[in-house]
Amino acid sequence: MKDYSIIALLLTLLAQKPYDPMLTDEPFNEYDFIVVGAGTSGAVVASRLSEIPEVTVLLLEAGDTDFGNHLVKYPNSFNKLQRTSVNWNYDIVDQKHSFFQMEKPSKYPRGKILGGTSSINGMVYLRGSPHDYDSWQDHGAKGWSWRDVEVFFKKVENAVGDEISDRLGRGGMLNVSRGYRSQMYDKWIKAGKEIGIKEVDYFEEVEGISRLVCTYSEGIRQSSSDAFLRPVYEERKDRLHIVTNARVGKVLFVTDENGKLSADGVTYIKNGKEKIVKARKEVILSAGVIETPHILMLSGIGPKNHLENMMIKVVVDAPGVGSNMEDHFNNPLYFKLNSPRYYGQTKNSMKEYILNGTGALSTIVGIDGVLHHRTKYFGTDVSLSTKKRPFPMIEALFVPSPYPIVFSTHEKPAFHSGAVLYLQHPKSKGTISLNSTNPFDQPIIDPNYLSNHDDVKILIEGFRQLEKFEMTETMKETGFTMVVPDVCNGQVNKNPPRSDEFYECYARSFSRGTHACCTAKMGDKDDKMAVVDERLRVRGVQGLRIADASVMPHITSSNTQAPCYMIGQRASDMIKEDWSLI
């Protein structure tokens, strides 16, 4: 009986969450800087500011620690992570123009954990097109052209492996490396040559097919927590304090004798108790595209009419807070195969991963390649670019491994692979607004997907581009044929070329978003919808800055992880410059 008790005790100890030595139990009452959100950008800001020995930094995270969470480390646990408490699992309102065939209301994924979304995402590391950032400057973000921002990408990056472009940085804190390469990727390359699409290195030339670079090293995910916090916390524990499970309620303000308004600190709730902490210099909001406007509005910075309707005292009338939401609306596609040999996964895949950290299990469902394409609408009124910047308008990620089909179909293929088609530069804009004044209540999220029909036109061109691959001799040899749903008149459209009506129905029916941005955008002083200036300072108040995806003037031609790292890096330098800390 005694032996069983010992075994039970050991099992209990193993099941307990390990203590994270990086966390602070007794934070100070005052810091030089308070950073809200330990995600992709926030971890960079906190790490960089704490480089200065005489500076104190408090990093507040609403989620839990990532310490001891093995699902975060293992790349192929992506789908499991999305269904756990480390995901905010936001609800979005019923969409008028999309999702009408989905069985369940769509949940919007964002990371609620140290590392934020970098701890739960697909690890894809793409900077975007240089033309994206030149277009940012077109839209009022002075000093954020490609020439201005490239150096900050390089400061973040530590490219591992000889096969990676020399244009990526070496010596930064974030390890990035080439992803796994399947046999299916080779088929995409060969088929691309048949239809005039070349293989490129994405970091040398954007348009074409490229292998992916991912935020992992030796088969282990590299989050912003791993890259920017854990390597430095021991030497900086006297000046960098990190508090988890701390939900920020609002930013506090003071008015000086000259009538100037300044951020003074924040309130946060932990273990059911509200606490106040003051900032001697600045509060930096890095809470993400949803929580940053949420906190701003709870603090009295936002659209005047909305705040008054919520009985919140208006501190700054900022109509752009919660507006201008953009996202990479995307559709999963599934293609039958005549054999599983193209997957790359075999009975030895787990052994290869455990021993070497390589192989098909080292990346998210085997994603290994990406296509960027401009479409025929470039330079027309359908395109978003006001100056006809030649950024690509669609992206497709290649998924050689099978993943669950989200719709009913008569076909039920024995083997299939897939692609995820992204609309890169949508005209449709969404909003974030308050549901209540309780910070624990989710805001109202309305992405307003496909409300502008020009977005549908571009998506149809994206489907057509993938259809060209389907019709190549290379792909026909693999049995590569689209799996069509029972709805959308799928049986009539089993084979290419398919009708525009089928593709529009498919686009509206089976879709989601994962890369939201722009809800507190950057712009010049004449733009009433611009929330921050070119130095990321919130207009109308001193000592308050934003550093996350919400400041983007518009979305990039890439997954948003890399731009968020760049924003955190650049924000840190700006803050140091403004406070003469460099």
What would the 3-class secondary structure string for 221-232 be? Answer: ECCHHHHHHCCC
Domains of the chain: 20-123+222-323+432-447+517-582 (3.50.50.60), 163-215+330-425+450-509 (3.30.560.10)
Under the banding of pLDDT at 50, 70 and 90, the label for residue 173 is very high
- CA neighbours closer than 13 Å in the CB half-sphere of residue 134: 11
Q: Is the pLDDT reported for residue 182 higher than 90? A: no
Spell out the SS3 assignment of 316-384: EECCCCCCCEECCCEEEEEEECCCHHHCCCCCCHHHHHHHHCCCHHHCHHHCCEEEEECCCCCCCCCCC
Q: Averaged over 502-508, what is the pLDDT?
A: 97
Dist. CA 188–CA 154, nearest whole Å:
30
229-243, pLDDT tens digit by residue? 999 999 999 999 999
Average of pLDDT values for 567-574? 98
Query: Residue 7 — pLDDT band, cuts 50, 70, 90?
Result: very low
pLDDT for the residue 16: 52
> Phi and psi (nearest 5°) for 335?
-130, 125
Beta-carbon count within 10 A of 8 CB? 10
Query: In whole angstroms, what is the distance from residue 432 CA to residue 574 CA?
Result: 28
Task: Tell me if 552 sits within 8 A of 563, measured CB to CB.
Answer: yes
Q: Look at residue 345 in the predicted model and tell me its pLDDT.
A: 67
In the chain, how long is the greatest CA-to-CA distance?
79
Indicate the pairing of strand 261-270 with strand 273-285.
antiparallel
Which pLDDT value is given to residue 264?
A: 96
Tokens of 26: 């007794």
The whole-number pLDDT of residue 580 equals 96
In 10 A of CB 14, how many CB atoms? 8
Average pLDDT of the residues in 396-413: 89
Does an H or E element contain 140, and which?
A: none
Buried b or exposed e, range 493-515, using 16+ CB within 10 angstroms? beeeebeeebbbbbbbbbbbbbb
Q: Which of 131, 372, 425, 515 is catalytic?
A: 515
With H, G, I as helix, E, B as strand and everything else as coil, classify residue 422.
strand
Between 183 and 62, whose confidence is greater? 62
Q: What's the pLDDT score for residue 365?
A: 65
CB 419 within 8 A of CB 396: yes
When the pLDDT of each residue in the chain is averaged and rounded to a whole number, the result is: 91
CA distance 579 to 193: 53
pLDDT of residue 190: 97
pLDDT at 416 over 60: yes
Tokens of 155: 């400061």
- Half-sphere exposure in the Cβ direction for 189 (13 Å, CA): 13
Please give the pLDDT value at position 578: 97
Q: How many Cβ atoms are within 10 Å of 93's Cβ, its own excluded?
A: 14
What is this structure's pTM?
0.94
Contact 138, 522 (CB under 8 A): no
| Average pLDDT rounded to a whole number, residues 201-208 | 95
E strand or H helix that includes residue 489: none
The structure tokens listed for 322 are 């919660």
CB 366 within 8 A of CB 399: yes
Identify any residues that bridge with 325 across adjacent strands, giving them in sequence order. Answer: 430
Percent of the chain clearing pLDDT 70 (strictly above): 94
Per-residue CA distances from 193 to 64, 197, 201 (Å) = 47, 5, 15
The one-character DSSP state at 93 is P
Burial of 457: CB neighbours in 10 Å, binned 0-12, 13-18, 19+: middle
The token pair that represents 435 in the structure block = 């549901």
The CA distance from 572 to 58, in Å, is 14
User: Could you tell me the pLDDT band of residue 4, with boundaries at 50, 70 and 90?
Assistant: very low
> Phi and psi at residue 183, in whole multiples of 5°?
-65, -30
Question: What pLDDT score was predicted for residue 284?
Answer: 98
Yes or no: say if 393 and 232 are a contact pair by the CB < 8 Å rule: no
Over residues 236-258, mean pLDDT: 95
Are the C-beta atoms of residues 443 and 435 closer than 8 Å to each other?
A: yes
For the residues 156-180, what does the mean pLDDT come to? Answer: 92
Report residue 162's pLDDT band, with 50, 70 and 90 as the boundaries.
confident
C-alpha span between 162 and 109 (Å, rounded):
34
According to DSSP, the residues that pair with 263 across neighbouring strands are: 253
Is the distance from CB of 558 to CB of 370 less than 8 angstroms? no
Q: Which of 265, 228, 229 lies closest to 23, judged by CA?
A: 229
- CA 505, 508, 510, 514 torsion-angle sign: positive
Place of tokens 């991912």: 214
554 is catalytic: no
Position 403, amino acid? Y
Burial class (CB in 10 A: 0-12, 13-18, 19+), 411: middle
Q: Please state the rounded mean pLDDT for residues 545-563.
A: 97
DSSP labels for 494-530? SSSSPPHHHHHHHHHHS-B----B-TT-B--TT-TT-
Q: Quick one: pLDDT band at residue 80, thresholds 50, 70, 90?
A: confident
Mean predicted confidence (pLDDT) in 439-458: 96
- DSSP conformation letters of 182-227: -HHHHHHHHHHHHTT--B--TTT--SEEEE-EESEETTEE--HIII
| Amino acid at residue number 133 | Y
pLDDT (0 to 100) of residue 105: 54
Residues in the chain: 582
Please list the alpha-helical segments (H only) found in 359-452.
none
Q: Is the pLDDT of residue 483 over 90?
A: yes
